[in-house]
Amino acid sequence: MTPRRRDREDEPTRMNEDDEATRVVPLSDRAVPKGTGRTGQESAGAVPLGTLINNNYEVTAVLKAGGMGEVYRGIEIGTGEAVAIKAILPALAEDEAAELLFKREARTLRQLQDAAIVRYYNYVHDTALDRFFLVMEYIDGTTLSDHLLSHGAIAEPDARQLLRRLARGLAEAHARGIVHRDLSPDNVMLPGGRVADAVLIDFGIAKSAMTEGTMHGQFAGKFRFVAPEQLGHFDGAIGPWTDIYGLGLLIAAALAGRPLEMGGTVVEAVAARRTVPDLSHLPEAMRPVLAKLLAPDPGDRPSGMQAVRRLLSEPAEDPVATPRPSAPSRIVPPAPAGADASRDEFVGRGGRGLLLSAALLALIGLGIGFWAQRPQAPAPPAPAPEAAGPDVSTRDGFLAAFDGGPCTLVARVASGPRAGMIAGYSETGARFPGLPAAYEEAFGARPGILSRTVTAPQCAALEFVGALRGRGAQPLRMALGSERLETGGTLSGQIEELGERALWLALVSAGGGVYTLTDRLEPAAEGQAFSIGLTLGDGAGPAPQLLLAVATEAPLATAAAAPDGARAAELLPRIRAEIGDEAASATLGHVLLTPGT
């Protein structure tokens, strides 16, 4: 299967080796147009003022010139609207994998609709310049770092408001699998100087594409605002937990008027992140909140950005994070060497990077000088909390309480030509002979049973859905266009009864790999619709595929951070633990993927 948010026009690649039977294939060429040939460094350099980009945007001023690429002010020719234009470094655009990553993340960011996140309009290739550009909302204001230099620390009420606002925006980003990676006062814009209207800018699209070699002098995150895992600790796993730590440092800096003392060299930075930093100079009411955000171990931090927001009202009671995935969805290389970072309280917008030391990289490779010098075993799944039993007086509650044995699930078919029947999932193809009579006795109607066979690795999905049933939450409805699909075909479906809840959609393959499909969702008249192409591997036989939809009050950080191909038996218990006893609902769809005739 292609990576989780891979563009539909990309060439298909196989799933995990454990999932050799199935591939997700492209559906159309709807993403950003591909560029033609590149000339590499021949295209490098500043874009002259007055340049017309892609016949749509005119460059009018330079806003920022840095190692990640220049940022310009421009106008959209058709509307006269001001825009910000980021020129992507040719060295990055030359890399095919980086180009695909740019496209994918730019498209995802464009879907974000939150006032706390800068709006992304377009990702374009100008063939005349042979350069790629990100076109974004232009914000007329000042950065938080400049505001702190001019006005000093912000008041505690303003800091609380800022924390709530940024955490809300980041929750939306995390729900779509986007991690900022570079939170600092430099990357917070204050329109008109108003803290209440703060906007996050400069998501780390380029940084997520960089390898150790291309990271030379371009450390992904200002040195004083990086999390321990960005220094190579905790397997270097970068995810929503990284933004939680960065947000804690950002808010602490806003309250103090300057960054916390987190070290000016790599050695000092490592030492400073062994414990929660000194917060004694900050307002007393904010200390317990920030202490949780700044826990060195990602597993001790809040479980997500919604949990961060709750800390402001109940700092002592909010749960900490569920265990991290054993493998990160993105890995940012370890930190560069310790050039002296004490020259300015806030690094200027000139983009001065820290020099990368080959000696330090050698030490990192050997694990010398770091906390964990041996590989750490993956954290075991957190135990799912006990929930109240289902209400057996209702049809859904009755089916939720029905015990069909291990690896079974029974559920009403709520829509389509088979509405009213009961879908019986099992590894053995069970017909559940006692169920129709028991159901008739309780509700006066004898339903037919649709037997749906699953594989042993898919049993975790049945257990997960069963654990969330009968809680009183509005049930989700999933309608699939087909119950049987020939290899190479397109599977369409729709999720209904979602309301205002957050939705996570995933494919659970016959091999038990979980692949997020949330970015394939499109608004529909009565919910969210999706279409995916599925192809069997050469010589593979029929293979059942499960579509898993989960609706929750807050986006699921664990799901958003999970790498494609994560084992259902490991990932789903962690997601279940994150949900806890909150209202949530889940539903399954089943399709049998068959070889061609």
Long-range contacts of 435-442 (CB under 8 A, 24+ apart): 435/402, 435/404, 435/410, 438/402, 439/395, 439/398, 439/399, 442/398
Mean pLDDT, residues 242-264: 95
185-224 residues labelled b (16+ CB within 10 A) or e (exposed): bbbbbbeeeebebbbbbbbbbbbbbbeeebbeebbbbbbb
Q: What is the pLDDT of residue 499?
A: 83
Q: Residue 329: pLDDT band by 50, 70, 90 thresholds?
A: very low
Q: How far apart are the first and last CA of the chain?
A: 22
pLDDT at 394 over 60: yes
Amino acid 548: pLDDT: 97
DSSP state letters, 217-274? T--SS-GGG--GGGGT-GGGEESHHHHHHHHHHHHHHHHHTS-----SSHHHHHHHTS
**What's the pLDDT score for residue 557?**
82
Average pLDDT in the 451-461 region? 94
The mean per-residue pLDDT over the stretch 488-516 comes to: 91
From CA 586, how far away is CA 152, in angstroms rounded? 48
Lowest mean pLDDT among 321-335, 372-386, 397-411: 321-335
CA distance linking residue 408 with residue 435, whole number of Å = 13
pLDDT-based confidence at residue 112 (cuts at 50, 70, 90)? confident
**Token digits for 190?**
């204050």
User: Whole-number mean pLDDT of the chain?
Assistant: 76
pLDDT above 90 coverage of the chain, percent = 38
pLDDT at 390: 60
In this prediction, residue 42 carries a pLDDT of 35
191-215 pLDDT, tens digit per residue, is 999 999 999 998 765 444 343 333 3
Confidence of residue 20 (pLDDT cuts 50, 70, 90): very low
DSSP assignment of 396-428, as one string?
Answer: HHHHHH----TTEEEEE--SSTTTTSEEEEESS
pLDDT above 70: residue 370:
no
Q: Is 155 a residue whose pLDDT tops 90?
A: yes
> What pLDDT shows up at residue 326?
35
Instruction: Please compute the mean of the pLDDT values over residues 352-359 and round it to a whole number.
Output: 30
Q: Kindly indicate the confidence band of residue 529, based on its pLDDT and cuts at 50, 70 and 90.
A: very high
What are the DSSP calls for 362-401, one per residue? HHHHHTTTSS--SPPPPPPPPPPPP-PPP-TTSHHHHHHH
* Contact status, residue 395 vs residue 435, Cβ threshold 8 Å: no
Q: CATH: 3.30.465.10, 2.60.40.10, 2.60.40.2470, 3.20.20.70. Which one for 395-594?
A: 2.60.40.10
Alpha-helix residue ranges (DSSP H) falling in 450-567:
459-468, 557-561
Q: Report, as an integer, the average pLDDT of 4-32.
A: 39
Q: Which 3 state secondary structure label does DSSP give 531?
A: strand
Q: What is the pLDDT of residue 399?
A: 80
What is the distance of C-alpha 313 from the center of its chain? 26
What is the model's pLDDT at position 593? 92
For 161, the 3-state DSSP assignment is helix
Instruction: Check pLDDT > 70 for residue 518.
Output: yes
How far is 298 from 320, CA to CA, in rounded Å?
A: 9
Beta carbons of 307 and 335 less than 8 angstroms apart: no
What does the pLDDT look like over 128-147, one tens digit per residue?
Answer: 988 889 899 999 999 999 99
8 Å CB contact between 204 and 179: yes
| Burial category of 344 from C-beta neighbours within 10 Å (exposed 0-12, middle 13-18, buried 19 and up) | exposed
**pLDDT tens digits for 43-96?**
346 789 999 999 999 999 998 765 456 899 999 999 999 999 988 877 666 666
Which helix H or strand E contains 68, and what residues bound it? none
**Packing angle of the helix pair 459-468, 568-579 (nearest 10 deg):** 10
Which has the higher per-residue pLDDT, 209 or 573? Answer: 573
User: In whole angstroms, what is the distance from residue 212 CA to residue 217 CA?
Assistant: 10
The region of weakest confidence among 227-231, 307-311, 355-359, 484-488 is 355-359
438: confidence class by pLDDT, cuts 50, 70, 90: confident
Cα–Cα distance for residue pair 564/219, rounded to 1 Å: 26
Q: Are 7 and 100 in contact (CB under 8 A)?
A: yes
The mean pLDDT value for 571-580 works out to: 92
With 50 as the cut, is the pLDDT of residue 99 above it? yes
Q: Topology of domain 34-137, per CATH?
A: Phosphorylase Kinase; domain 1 (3.30.200)
Q: What is the mean pLDDT of residues 226-238?
A: 82
User: Which of the four pLDDT bands, split at 50, 70 and 90, describes residue 344?
Assistant: very low
State residue 592's pLDDT score.
93
Among the residue ranges 1-15, 152-166, 351-365, 503-517, the one predicted with the least confidence is 351-365
Q: Which DSSP symbol is given to 345?
A: S
pTM beyond 0.85, yes or no: no
Task: Tell me: pLDDT of 258 over 90.
Answer: yes
Provide the pLDDT for residue 495: 92
Report how far Cα 211 is from the mean position of its chain's Cα atoms: 20
Stretch among 60-64, 217-221, 457-461, 524-528 having the lowest mean pLDDT: 217-221
Of 487 and 319, more confident? 487
pLDDT of residue 115: 93
pLDDT at 255: 98
Q: Which of 118-122, 316-320, 370-374, 512-516 has the lowest average pLDDT?
A: 370-374
What is the distance between the alpha carbons of residues 129 and 86, in angstroms, rounded to a whole number?
A: 14
DSSP 35: P
pLDDT at 512 over 70: yes
The pLDDT value given to residue 349? 31
Q: Calculate helix-pair angle for 156-175, 240-256, nearest 10 degrees.
A: 160
CATH class of residue range 144-366: mainly alpha
**Domain spans of the chain?**
34-137, 144-366, 395-594
Tell which wins on pLDDT, 93 or 270: 270
Mean of pLDDT values over 270-291: 94
Q: Tell how strand 120-126 and strand 237-238 pair up.
A: unpaired
Tokens of 201: 């800018």
